[in-house]
A = this chain, B = another copy of it.
Amino acid sequence: MTRTLANSRDTALLHRAARVIPNGIWGHMATRAIAPGYPQFFSRAEGCRVWDADGNEYLDFMCAWGPNILGYRHPKVDGAALAQLARVDSGNGPTEVLVDLAERLTAALDHADWCLFQKNGTDATTACVTIARSATGRRKIIMARGAYHGAVPWCSPSVIGVTAEDRAHLIAFDWGDLADLDRAVAEAGEDLAGIILTAFRHDVGRDQALPSAGFLQAARAACDRSGAMLILDDVRAGFRLDLRGSWAPYGVKPDLAAYSKAIANGWPLAAVAGAERARKGAEQIFTTGSFWYGAAAMAAGVATLTLLAETDALSHIAVMGQRLRTGLDAAAARHGYQLRQTGPVQMPMVLVEGDVDLRIGNALCLAALRHGVYLHPKHNMFLCAAHGPSEIDRAVEAVDAAFADIAAAGLEPA
């Protein structure tokens, strides 16, 4: 079905928001950064479906930008959190659930002996860097140019409001380039505290890239030689690719890793998970937050990790991701387009070949919206366990129809 999307309520909310919120909305969920026509406000979510403020329903492939891994409002996850809420959430200290969660997380991950919990992915990446410096007594942090590690001054993609000193001890290198990594390690010299890497290259607007085993091994070896800490930023990818941590298939173990997003299926939670050799560094720093001991999100985390361990959710997501990728390629080909689908199928990055200015991708995604599917034209997307074969096939049909729409409108690759 093609729909004209009602948007009067969304427009009215944007108008109200513009008065009391800078730009009407801030950060990564501002739809002006996607394409004009995307709804900004939502009213409901369930499984793999979302409804915007005007009541338009979409089959969703953003999954709240990652947190939704088992399906929105999963009854077992929310049930566990609500049962905890009925006892205590924020109290004068943690509850037994903290220990349950720490035990479950360290047991699931192949690299971790201990963990700490926070609220934001940025809390976790910042704590990892601080712990690396504490553990080593050194300052330099190597990171990949263009990688996203959070939105505070040391790592924000924007430099507005940031001072040069906030980034004084960062050394950038080109992701995956072993020679450039060597150059960065040499530049850091004896002051190398750590190397921080995302699970794979998932920068906005460009092809994703899985790491080679050799690249991860080289980073590991450089840290071993130097006594520095290898930090895995698994905030975005964590748990969706592998419950043991995203580098488990490579056999490369980080000393420190940051998790968030999918850890509690949408409840606000983040974690630093570390190896024994980083424990003392963690013991020495001061890191805390008013709500970091909140038990409801931790109960949701225990339930989420339990379900991921005890069901076939992750293998299902991988199968569905492949089904989507194959279907989208075929749909594109039927209309004379070619897609560039890169990275893990569980986190689809779908770009159109030759679409340098995203003109086609934007039009395609807007057309898909009208056909009832919520995609993103330049950020990786996410699958969840609630995506079944019928939802994937319906999404492919919708994208097929969207390709027909844009082809009819004369949109062709430059």
A residues neighboring B (CB under 8 Å):
13, 16-17, 19-23, 25-29, 31, 39-45, 50, 53, 60, 62, 64-68, 72-73, 78, 82, 85-96, 98-99, 102-103, 106, 113-116, 119-123, 126, 129-134, 139, 151-154, 156-158, 160-163, 165-166, 168-169, 235, 260-261, 266-268, 274, 279-294, 297, 374
Add 12 more A-B contacts to A89-B266, A120-B290, A126-B152 (CB < 8 A): A21-B99, A22-B280, A29-B93, A40-B94, A42-B92, A42-B93, A53-B96, A82-B85, A151-B287, A163-B168, A166-B166, A260-B290
Whole-angstrom distance between the Cβ of A77 and the nearest chain B Cβ: 11
Whole-angstrom distance between the Cβ of A143 and the nearest chain B Cβ: 15
CA distance A152 to B166 in the complex (A): 12
CA distance A62 to B94 in the complex (A): 14
Whole-angstrom distance between the Cβ of A138 and the nearest chain B Cβ: 10
CA distance A17 to B103 in the complex (A): 8
A153 nearest in chain B by CB position: B130
Kindly report how many copies of this chain are found in the complex they form together.
Answer: 2
Partner of A284 from the list B50, B99, B139, B161 (CB cut-off 8 Å) is B161
CA distance A60 to B90 in the complex (A): 13
Contact A44 B87 (CB under 8 A): yes
Contact B139 A160 (CB under 8 A): no
CA distance A16 to B121 in the complex (A): 26
Whole-angstrom distance between the Cβ of A384 and the nearest chain B Cβ: 12
- State the 3 A-B residue pairs at the shortest beta-carbon distance, nearest first: A27-B288, A134-B161, A268-B291
Partner of A162 from the list B133, B158, B268, B281 (CB cut-off 8 Å) is B133
Contact A290 B65 (CB under 8 A): yes
Contacts of A50 in B (CB 8 A): 88, 91-92
A119 nearest in chain B by CB position: B119
Contact B126 A281 (CB under 8 A): no
Q: Assess A114 versus B22: contact at CB under 8 Å? Given A16-B99, A53-B96.
A: yes
Contact B98 A17 (CB under 8 A): yes
Contact A102 B21 (CB under 8 A): yes
Contacts of A21 in B (CB 8 A): 98-99, 102, 114-116
Contact A266 B90 (CB under 8 A): yes
CA distance A160 to B25 in the complex (A): 36
CA distance A27 to B28 in the complex (A): 29
Contact B288 A29 (CB under 8 A): yes
CA distance A272 to B323 in the complex (A): 44
CA distance A238 to B95 in the complex (A): 26
CA distance A42 to B84 in the complex (A): 12
Contacts of A290 in B (CB 8 A): 64-67, 120-121, 235, 260-261, 268
CA distance A66 to B90 in the complex (A): 10
Contact A286 B17 (CB under 8 A): no
Contact A89 B267 (CB under 8 A): yes
CA distance A66 to B91 in the complex (A): 10
Contact A31 B114 (CB under 8 A): no
Contact A156 B20 (CB under 8 A): no
CA distance A237 to B114 in the complex (A): 34
Q: Assess A94 versus B151: contact at CB under 8 Å? Given A22-B279, A26-B116.
A: no
Contact A130 B20 (CB under 8 A): no
Contact B67 A120 (CB under 8 A): no
Contact B95 A53 (CB under 8 A): yes
